[in-house]
Structures are given as C-alpha cells and as structure tokens.
Amino acid sequence: MDVLIIERLDRLASSVRALVEVFEEIRRCRVALVSLDDEIDTSTGDGGLVFQLMRAVGQFERRRYGQRIRLGLARARGVGTRLGRPPAEVNPADVVRLRAQGLSYRQVGRRLGISAALAHRLARTASGDGPRAV
C-alpha cells in the first residue's frame, strides 16, 4: 500500500496524541496519508509540514499531561492524602509459620491475601535479612 486515503483526520483518531501515533506508524510503513476534507497529503512538502506540526503538538501535549499528573500528585501529598496501596496488615511471623509448614510463597500469599512477592519480603524481614519497611 502506498497511500492511505481518509475523509477527515478526526475519523482516524480521537485525540492529537493518538493521531500523532497513527502518523508515526504510517510514516514507518512508508505510506502517504491523504485527508480529503482537511486537504492534507503527507507525500507533498506542505503535507509533511502539517505532519511535523502535528508531531510537535503531540509532544507538547504529552509533556503537559505529565506535568499535570506530577502537580496533582504533589498537591495530594501536600494535603496529606495517602497515595498507593495501604500497608499490608500481615504479621511476618505468620508468613514464616506457613512457610515452615511447607507452603510456597504463592500459597502463603493466597492464604494471607497478599502477593507472593510481599510474602517473600515479609519472610526476609522476619529473619532479619531484609529491609524493615513494608
């Protein structure tokens, strides 16, 4: 395929970010994009310029999105909102006891309602080999 012809750009993607991703994929495949209503043809110099502008707008949008997320997280921390999962209410001694009965970390995790990785970390904490914070 040499050319992808569409009626309008908004039929191709629902956001500038998605549109830029589609543009990038089409460009990687060395296919020209022609939008009839928008009068864009990426095989021409003018169409290439439009593509570069859309790409720049997409990058700008991604950066702003990241900034908004970081600001929101900082604001939440500033007012004392706890972020992430609540701490596990599991006694490391329970993990050690179940492991001593021959259960795997996965089985211990299922029984205590935690992940196998947390069960392993708690066992290490109980034995003094691992970090103290859980």
Going by the DSSP 8-state scheme, the letter that residue 86 receives in this structure is P
- The answer to whether residue 131 scores a pLDDT higher than 60 is no
- Edge-first strand listing for the sheet containing 40-41: 3-6, 32-35, 40-41
DSSP annotation of 9 reads G
Which of the four pLDDT bands, split at 50, 70 and 90, describes residue 130? low
pLDDT band at 129 (very low <50, low <70, confident <90, very high): low
Its pTM stands at 0.47
Q: Which residue has the tokens 């795997």?
A: 104
Of the CA atoms within 13 Å of residue 17, those in its CB half-sphere come to 8
Q: Which helix (H) or strand (E) holds 41?
A: strand 40-41
Distance CA 82, CA 101 (A): 36
On the question of pLDDT at 123 being above 80, the answer is yes
Q: C-alpha angle 113/119/121, rounded to 5°?
A: 140
pLDDT in tens, 40-95: 888 888 877 887 887 788 788 888 989 999 999 999 999 999 888 788 789 999 99
